Structure 1
Amino acid sequence: MGAWPLPRAESPTDTPASDQWTKFHQHLDKALIEAQATSLRPGHACVLNASGHEDLDKLSLEQTRALMEESGDMRFYNHHFPLIFDDGVKWIVRCRRLRRDRPSYGVMRYVLDSEIITMEELRNAGVCVPRAYRALGQDEDTAQGPNKRRFDLYFFVEYVDAMEFPLAFLGPQKNILNQMLNSGRLTCLIIRTFVSSYAEQMIKLSRIHFDAIGSLHHCPNRGTIVGPMIDKMVGSHSKPYFHGPFRTAYERWTNTIDYQLDLVLHHEGYDGDPITCYLSLLDLRDLVEGWQELKNPEEEFYIRHCDSKADQCFTDPAGNIIAWIDWEWAAVTTKAEAFASPLAFRGEGISDKMTEWETLLAEAYVALGRKDLAECVRNARRYHWLEKLADPASGQICPPQDFHAFRMY
């Protein structure tokens, strides 16, 4: 059956964006959050959402209006609130946004805990990830009722004093890269610095590996382990919530496609003619069946940022990455998939040719002595197509020409 059915109509999240924001704050325990943060920095008091003499609700509503004016709605999946200590240290409270299309509390808690653990592993490896802190006392099994626990989906993150690199608005699909590269030496250097810095971060990421495909979780007796794979395409409201871990990419992808086939049989997941959807997915499964590389056994698997629009990268004015945030949907996967070119470098479409961004990235890997990662970029298209064809997010099965393009690789 479908993974994420909508909550009942009386859900507190079934409201316009500004009302949703207000309800969220009415249920947040400001004193508790401040006490939790102080317990992580003993001897230092803090104030949540401090901004001059404005109180919490007023500031929150101002932030809501600013976002709505900018984008037409409350964007993204998280709220962020400043937390300021008495010695000037700043943290951010990263709270899951409440929406009618969000999965159950258990699923969201599972994803949040994995995000914290993933950030810890990356930071320990030297990746520019801000330090994350779990709020003490949060436990899915001891939460006091569904209404109360809905509002403890948050954790603390070090404040990042940097600027978001505007790659999400400079995608190659708009042909802006060539304009920027030709507009002057300074702009060109900033772009190349950013791409080189991105490559350096990915090389650091390549130094930590795991023994299976899935997502990172904490086991009391074993430390960090690879557990079920957090996946927007596959899941349920009951434990263990997701599928896996897997030993091969073939096992992972056939599991995903079989799940989509089951959705179609139950008239869920896709719009349109169910027979066409089912046959298209069977065709995709046959293509995966014939892809020998996916079946090859591997011993080392790597963390992948599964929403790699690159607006998660924060830089200094020169273009050097100094913070990489938002690891909500991170996963551990094969080397070929983990180091395939990110979505931001590929652009919205999938071209047969490498984009200028991808070319720069491959060149940066070579210059840094990692020809193997450059090959992952050059061979990324097949994985890009597979991910697109297996994703039911749009509610529409991909057109025949997309399946034909995938078949050509």
Structure 2
Amino acid sequence: MGTVCPVEGTSTTLADGFQTKEYEVAGQEALVKELRALFQTIDVKALTTIASKFRGGISCFVKPFRYDKAPSRPAMGAVNLHLELVFDDGLSWMARLKRRNTSTLPAAVQPYLIRSEVATYSFLKKETRVPVPEVFAYALDSNNPVGTGYILMETIKGKNLLSTSPTIEQLSKVLAQLAEVYKELYRHPFPLMGSLDTPGSTNVGPVVHDLMVDLALTNNGDRVIQQLAGFPGPFINLKDYYSVLIPRILHMIVVGELYPFWAVDAYLIHKFLFDLLGQWPEDMQGTGKFYLRHFDDKGDHIMVDEDFNITGIIDWEGAYTAQKAEAFTSPIALWDSKEFFSERKTLSNSELEFAQLLDGAGHGGANHPANFNLGDCVRLGKIFQRLRICVGYTLYDENMENYRKAFMGLLREFPIRHEESWEEWRVFALKKYSGDEKLAGLLRREG
């Protein structure tokens, strides 16, 4: 195995020759070490042989890359490595493989993730007009000649939107196209909240979420094997989903697996949000129709050409079906982060423009919150966006202040008492949960 390693270079300087900071050097060294270890366990030659077979015998090779060069890094995400396979006739495919680091889920979970992602691409490609790459072949686990699970797919040309600097006119052009994608997704409802789990089918299974994993340990001779016991769900509404997710997060906070440096604040927030589930307004409890939404819509999922035509929407890992009011909120790419991490509900100019492009689409005509048109989903969507950030979202410690502001902004959405500041709310919450033994333990731990 590891017959070909397309990683070039181990430089610890930037392309312009300036020395990186010490932690960047350490990070780069760890990255190269990780990639070299990965290529010791996979057979790249087998990957090119499989790709060649699916193209009628046309030979291909893996294009070398340098991950010590900033322009190359968009080809690799936190959990996926992308190899470009170039055929002799000039066509190229992309091989998507799981990385092996602290961000990746256990190996027992990865077959479900791959199957769900392939099922999502299959549905979008066959049933909708959403531009996505075609999947040609895939393997769910390491039990194949390559030595790891993979997806072989069409290469989408262009640059990701996050890496560009569009003018106002160019961004408007992208928004108009993205609005058509939203409208297309609205034409294909599902009966439950969850993730597609069977390629070639519209079956909705459990929600793919790293905090919703149930693992089991089994003995196999002298080895202990970790197996996927399952994911909870699917669910009939978002409230039921959070009723399962939040208790899991509370447990992980108590045992030190989440928010270790500010466990008390995180525990108070999640405990209060769990109690708040019973006070959700009607428009947050939609049941009956759910729509596919991208999980990581920060902008690098939108590929554009030099004229800012959308060439594809990529990276559908973790996609799930959500109720209308959540499914059609604005993508992260359009947020004004300063306004979002505040207690206000102000929309960015791009969000307002996007909402206008969606006005009139998806209006059911009935006098019910769930029948707002898609533009209204953008205008009223901050409550769902802040929920996604406040429940289980991993933030760096220096961003805790932003986390608190997002939480306080979320509280303003509910008809409950409103403290003037985070400090006042924290005093209230400590008193409210003063009899909670788990909170008492966290307080002792933090001193």
**TM > 0.5 fold call:** yes
Question: 103, 106, 123: which is aligned to 1:104?
Answer: 106
Q: Does 1:306 align with 2:306?
A: no
Aligned pair in 2 of structure 1 residues 372, 83: CA closer, same or farther (>3 Å)? same
Aligned pair in 2 of structure 1 residues 126, 346: CA closer, same or farther (>3 Å)? same
1:358: which partner in 2? 351
Q: Does 1:223 align with 2:237?
A: no
Give 1:206 shift.
1.6
Of the two structures, which has the highest relative contact order with CA contacts closer than 8 Å and spacing of 6 or more?
1
Asked whether the equivalents of residues 303 and 311 of structure 2 are also in contact (C-alpha less than 8 Å), the reply is yes
Q: Deviations over 1:332-351 (max 9, x none)?
A: 11111110111111143414
Amino acid paired to 1:192: S
Q: Deviations over 1:105-161 (max 9, x none)?
A: 1212221221111011112211000101233xx354x828xxx98x41211111122
Q: Does 1:404 align with 2:400?
A: no
2:381: which partner in 1? 380
Number of aligned residue pairs: 360
Give 1:311 shift.
1.5
1:184: which partner in 2? none
2:254: which partner in 1? 265
Give 1:368 shift.
6.7
1:54: which partner in 2? none
For the residues of structure 2 that align with 1:153 and 1:28, how far apart are their CA atoms? 10
RMSD: 3.0
What is the percent sequence identity of the aligned residues?
Answer: 24
Aligned pair in 2 of structure 1 residues 339, 163: CA closer, same or farther (>3 Å)? same
Amino acid paired to 1:28: I
359-368 or 313-322, which moves further after superposition? 359-368
Amino acid paired to 2:210: K
Extract unaligned runs of 5+ from structure 1: 1-14, 51-58, 171-179, 181-186
For the residues of structure 2 that align with 1:169 and 1:289, how far apart are their CA atoms? 43
1:133-212 to 2 correspondences below 5 Å: 133-135=136-138, 138-140=139-141, 143=143, 151-166=147-162, 187-212=167-192
1:5-404 to 2 correspondences below 5 Å: 16-41=30-55, 43-50=56-63, 59-60=64-65, 63-67=66-70, 76-124=78-126, 125-135=128-138, 138-140=139-141, 143=143, 151-166=147-162, 187-218=167-198, 223-237=201-215, 238-272=227-261, 274-293=263-282, 296=285, 298-349=287-338, 350=340, 351-366=344-359, 372-394=373-395, 400-404=404-408
1:183: which partner in 2? none
Aligned pair in 2 of structure 1 residues 308, 335: CA closer, same or farther (>3 Å)? same
Amino acid paired to 2:114: L
Aligned pair in 2 of structure 1 residues 72, 247: CA closer, same or farther (>3 Å)? closer
2:221: which partner in 1? none
Aligned pair in 2 of structure 1 residues 347, 235: CA closer, same or farther (>3 Å)? farther
Amino acid paired to 1:405: G
Q: Deviations over 1:194-214 (max 9, x none)?
A: 110111111112222211111
Extract unaligned runs of 5+ from structure 2: 1-28, 216-226, 364-371, 414-447
Asked whether the equivalents of residues 30 and 48 of structure 1 are also in contact (C-alpha less than 8 Å), the reply is no
- Which of these two proteins has the greater Rg computed from alpha carbons? 2
Asked whether the equivalents of residues 44 and 86 of structure 1 are also in contact (C-alpha less than 8 Å), the reply is no
For the residues of structure 1 that align with 2:261 and 2:349, how far apart are their CA atoms? 36
For the residues of structure 1 that align with 2:391 and 2:190, how far apart are their CA atoms? 25
Q: Deviations over 1:229-269 (max 9, x none)?
A: 11133324442442211111110112111111222333331
